[in-house]
Structure formats: structure tokens, C-alpha cells
Structure 1
Amino acid sequence: MTAQSTAKGTWPTLLILCGLFAVSFIDRMVLALVIDPIRAAMGVSDTQMGLLFGMGFVVVYVLAGLPLAHLVDKGGRKRILTIGVLLWSAATFLSGLATSFWMLVVLRAGVAVGEAVLMPIAMSMIFDLFPRDRRAFPVTLYTMTGVVMGKASFLVGAGALTLAAHIIPFTGGEPWRIMFMLVALPGPVLILLFAFFGRDPARRVDAEEGEAADQRVDTRALLTHLLSRKAIYLPIFIGTGCIFMVGLGLSAWTPTMLVREHGIPVTSAAVYYASYGMVGGVLGMISVGFLVKRLGRDNGARGVFLTALLVTALTLPILAMTIGSPDIDTVMIGIGVGTFGVMGATTFVPHLLQQITPRALIGRTTAIYLLFNNFLGMGMGPLLVSAVAGRYEGQPGSVGTAMTVVSWGALSVALTCFAFALASLIRRRPPAPANAGLAT
């Protein structure tokens, strides 16, 4: 494939994929802004809303992602992407028309199934759109879109709620219902742009990447390797999952906590959380990523891991100590520092896996790591906060108290896991380079 043919249509395709990734975060996360209106309309509890936000999404997302990724590998990416985007957009739009909690559960599952196609298709297309020596920036741009939109989606949701308030005098209805309908609209627009300006590139062959046939190993080799280093891998997976539990618990419940316990409008709560969270998260990824590369270069995997342990120990306790404060400025500073820690402490994992995992196993090992993050983070974080808040229902500051309890608990487990894994890493011989083979 020539440079000229690679360039034609490549950047419009990448930008549309980034736009779809941004929209997927919006449609996934804006539920956090309307928890109380939905509770009032449907007569449900905080725990049910925690299930809807977390487990109700992530179980379907993970289970659907496995067969859908297989379909993506077989071909027809453009068609599969179109169906997925239209499905999650329709499910988001219809959420505004839901008349029962169980309708919302089904529609939330529809959002999960639709969004499950995006990541494998985007990564596959980026691989084929760009040669290896030009791929770093597109991958970084795509992943950073997710990092930013994890918090910026709340700004979009706040804008949609504000617009809904101006529309309701003409259409009637409730703001939260109009919000779902509004945020569902960009998806079909982007997929229409993709039909005209995007392209499904030809598949690149493995030979371009220098993949030797003897590096293609079976599942038994994967399990053998992971079990031989279970004292390192398992604490990493559980510890980072607990860090994401703190982060996703924050995302799901901070807006509601600010509304209930600090008396500010939901749109202001969204702006507060998004602003502090974006600044902290981006700074955390950039600065800790820089430290990880420097320390990892000099000290290998141990230096990488020590960086993560120190960042976790120095930042996340500040979040746990401040999130339940009656002073909103203290809360927001804690959220900024905590988000710095969440994003920073998890930045080390890709670097660490490259140092301790054979090249032929990195993809599947990363997939297992993401499974832990999804179930412990997205699945359990929002649910645990809502369950603990239910124990304090009727008491002032119940959600803030719940977030404090969950943050301290998850932080304690994460630090214990990281310390155990670091000790196991120190006891082992220095690991061989990741491409040195599968010998342990």
C-alpha cells in the first residue's frame, strides 16, 4: 500500500471514529446526571440506579463484545459499525420515552450492544489505515478522546439539559427525557458522514508487523504463562480494577451528590465535575506517563510498578478524605487530585505488560486486564456506592459518606495488591524482554 493511497480518506475516517468514540461516552455517561429525576419518575432506589448505570451496562457490553469482535475480524466492518451506531443511538433516544425501569434496563442493554462494536472496529481500522511507523499518533488521539470524554460527556449532558429546558415549553415532557433524545442525534449524523467520507481500508497482512508464525500461541500457553506469574498478574488486575472502581463510582454519583448534598443545580454540578476531572485526569496521564517511561527505562518493570504504587498512595487518600466534606471547594479539589491519581495509577499497566509479557500474549493478557477493569470498575463501582448509600438513607450526606467508604475500601485493596505484586516482582529474576519468547 503506497503512502498516497494510505493518505486518501485516512484522516476523515480517523476523525469520524474519534467523534463516534466521543458520542459513545456521552450516550453511556449522561445517565449519571438524571438519576434523581428517573428515581422520581420510576419509583426506584439508588441501588437499582447503580445497577442500571454499571452492571446493567457492563455485563452486556463484555458478553456482546466477544462474538462481535469475532465478526469484525471476519470482515464487513463498515456495515457492522453502521448497525452498532444506529442501535445504540436508537436505544438512547428511546430511553427518553421509557415508561418503566425495566424498559430502561432493556434500552441500556441496547446501548451496550451497539457500543461494543466500536472499539474493535476502530482499533482494526486504525491498524489498517496507518503503517506501523505512523500509527502511534492516531492510536493516542483515539484513546485520549476517551480519556477526555469520560468527563467532558457531563458538559455535553449539561448543555442538553439546558437546551431541553428551552424546548419543553413547545413540546412538553420532562427535561431528562428530552436530554436523552438530544444526545442520541449526533450518532446517526456521524455515521452518515462516514458513509460519504470514511472508508473501510484493505486489511494489512501480519507479515508487515514481523509476526513470526511460531509466535502464534494457543490458549494453553497463555494460561501457563499467567499461572506461572499469578502472584504478579492477579494483584495487578484486581488492584487496577479497584482503582477504576473509585473512578467510576465518582463518575456515576458525584453529580447526584453535589445536587443532593450541596444544593447546586445539576448543570452546575456537571460543569464542576467535568472541569476538575478533566484537568486532573489529563495531567495524571501525561505526568505519570512521563515518570513511568523514565523510571522504567532505568529500573525496568520494578521502576514502573513503584511509580504506580507511590502515585496511588500519595493521591487517592486525599480523595477519600475530602469527598464527604461539607465544603464544595474541598470536595472539588479532592476530585481533581483523585482523578489525577486514578488516571495516573493506571497509566503504568500497558508499560508493565510490555515488560513482563511475551509479545505473542500481550493482546489477550490486555483483554483479561480490561475484563477486570470493566467488572470491578464500571460494574461494581456505581453499585457499591448506591448500596452503601442505602444503608445511610435519610441521613445528611449519605452519598458522600458512601463514596468515602467505597473509596477507602477500594484504595486499601488496591494498595495491598500493588505492594504484594511489587514484592513478588522483586523476588523474581529480572524478566526477559517481552519478545524473547514464552519461556518462564
Structure 2
Amino acid sequence: MTHPLWNPGLDTRPWALTQQLQLAEFGRLLDRLAANEAWAARLPAGRTYAHLDDLLDVPFTLKEDLRAAQADITPARPLGAFQNAPTRDLVQVTSSSGTTGAQTFFGLTRTDWGRWKDRIGNAYRTAGVGPGDVVALTTGMAIVAGGLPYADGIREAGGVLAWIGGQTTPRMAFGMQRLAVNVLVSTASFATHFADRTTDELGVPAPSLSVRTVIAGGEPGAGVPHIRQGMLDAWGATRVSEFMGLADVLPAMWAECEVGNGMHFTAAPDVLVELIDPDTLAHVPWEPGATGEAVYTTLSREASAVVRFRSRDQLLVTGVSCPCGRTAPTMRCVGRTDDMLIYKAMNVYPSAIREVVLDVASPVLSGTMRIRKSSAAQVRFDDDIPLEVELRDGVTAAEASAVLREAAESVREKLRVRVAVEPVGFGVIPVSDYKNALVYVP
């Protein structure tokens, strides 16, 4: 089913005009943030921005900045120094998943919440949700970006929300069948896994159910042809729509239309997106074939703004026009600084594994470790992920064995993946004076 455009005036507005209007709003945002001492200390104010390159001398906001701002909270600002609205004006708090570090929290005022729902609703409409669709949401946690925000967006787009996540697999499968769900929202890896489990639990093949659209987000992969085809085959679906956002900015900012040539940017006018060269930090034009890192600014957020937030997501522009009529560019996310791995149905970042292991075993480890891949293209691990860890100088494998078993168990409990910890002697793993990769191919 193809539904009407969410907001034809915005969805079909020339991209250059959208960017120009957002630049004017960018200056007004910085003037508003000047009333907050933490923002005022790092951002210019009283300036106008006529060209995209005028933004280049405005400092980036990094994930580390957000964590640092929330490390020293006060009763007046429970969301940290960057909180820009009184707590009495907040109606909701969401959080990052905390997969690669401590969770960060973000507040919404009632105005923020209304605009938030509208933008996420646009993303779901773009991805194929509208009146008459029964949409299964498989996320189990309400506070994260894929929880309550996604639920709000599904309802806003006109879909019937069937929030089946957080239950046992048999109950989820039963709900899929009984409610005649025709749209499934999940991660790319879970979509295929869940189809297999649903077949086992119901005793009928998943393609015999009603699912015809799979909306896959939370991890890269849905744009990869063989993964996409696997999801289509697993459910007997006719459409896979890739979906992407960031808890730090907006839970859904990119969504794939029925044409299937990549994800449209759906967050304007509330979010400004820049494409930069991650090495030179110069702007990259939105042209087919261009690649760069996405940088975001929340133009309208009252409670928890971010300015020029470096996402570390590496994008490939796939188009700047589309038969669907939307004028925002389309893209695929081709990776990030710490490329995500998939262990069975769970996604995990190498840096998260390192953090958990060191939390337990740092007394016996130097801190250097790496994941071994069979090929550069390998993302999925069906067996325990091989993890080479370097022992401290003078520590033997026998001496470290007990604590390393404890570390592996901690990874299983906290990240829900399994690793095969392989201790190596001090100095065995090469260390660069620049960047040390957490994954390698022998």
C-alpha cells in the first residue's frame, strides 16, 4: 500500500531552499542558547549564516561532550549543563541505548514532543505506514529511541500500534498471527531471526502470515541486497524500508520510500544535516556518489538541543531526486568509526565489548585487544566472536584464566553476545601511534 505524502509542501520543497531556510534558523538557535552558560561558553552568538560554509567555525558537539555535560548534574538540571528548559516544562525523557558507553538522556517539552511526533510520523509514512496498517514494534525498552518515540511515530502516521516487544517469543509470534500484522518494525538481523522463530512457534511458515512490509533500523544492513532479499523471503514481504535516526538528535531522520533507492532525509525543518569529509571537515555536496559523515543540529528543540553533532555515521548519497516526489536526498549508511557487528540476532559494537572486558579484567590486561574477522566483509558471527586480548607484562595465561572467563560471562550478560577470549603475550598485538583498529583480518 502506498500512502499520500506526509506534508506535500515540505516533502517536495527544493532541497536548496530547505537548507537556506534552515541556515537562518541556525543563527536564531545559537542566540537562544546564549542564555545557557554552558552553551554560551562554546558557541558564537549574534551572527547570521547565509552559506553552509559559514557553519565551519562553529564547534562540533561530540558524544563525549554530551556525556561530560551530564556527569555533573544538579537538582535544577537533572539532564546536565546543556539542559535548556526548566524541568517543570518537560513531559518526557528518552535515552541513548548506552551500547558504546554510559547512557545519555534527553528531555522534551510539550512543544518538542509535538514536533518530534510529527517528524517521526513523516519517517514512518515515508517507510510505508498509514491508516489501515497494523504495525508490530519489536523493541522491548520504552525509554530508548526505538521504544516510545517509535510508538508515537507509528500512531502519528496513522498506523495501528501493536507493541509486541518485550514478551517471550511465543507470545510475540501469537500476536503477529492473531492481529494480522502487515508491517514489522525491527532490526535487520532480528527480522530474519524472528521469522524463523515464528515459523517454529506457530507451526506455519512466516510467509503465510500477513507481513508485507519490513521496516528495518537500529543497525546497518537493510540496504545490503542479500540481507534485504533474506528479509523479503523470510516473511514473504513485498517491501523492505530502511530506517535510521539517533537518540541524541531525533530517533527517526531517514526513511526509505517505495522506490527503494536509499533513505530520504525526513527530519526537516526541525533538524539541519550537513555532510562533511571526516578528515578535512570540509562540506561535501549532496550529489549522487558523494560520501561523508553526517553532522546534525536540532533547530527547534527547546529542552535538549545539540549543535553540529558529529554522528560518526558514514553516508553514501544515492540520489537527489526521486520518482516518489520527495526532494530530500537519499542515502545509505555505509559504516561508522566503530563498525557494528552482528552476533546471531544481536548487534554489538567492538568498543562496547572492550569496555565490558576491561571493566572486569583490566588488572591482568594491557588494554590492547582486537576482534578477528575471517574477511573484511564479515559482519555476522554465528559462533563466538574471536577476541584476542593482550596480557599485562609478566602475567601468564594460566594466571589470567579465571578472570578472563568472568569477563566473557560479563559480555554475555550485559551485551547478550558471546566472545571467545584468546589471551596473547604482552607486545604481540601491534600498536599504532595513531588509530588502533578493534577488528582485523589475519
Q: Which has the higher contact order (CA 8 A, sep 6+)?
A: 1
**Pairwise same-fold verdict (TM > 0.5):** no
TM-score normalised according to structure 1 size: 0.22
Instruction: State the TM-score, normalized to the length of structure 2.
Output: 0.22
Greater fraction of residues in strand = 2
Richer in helix (by share)? 1
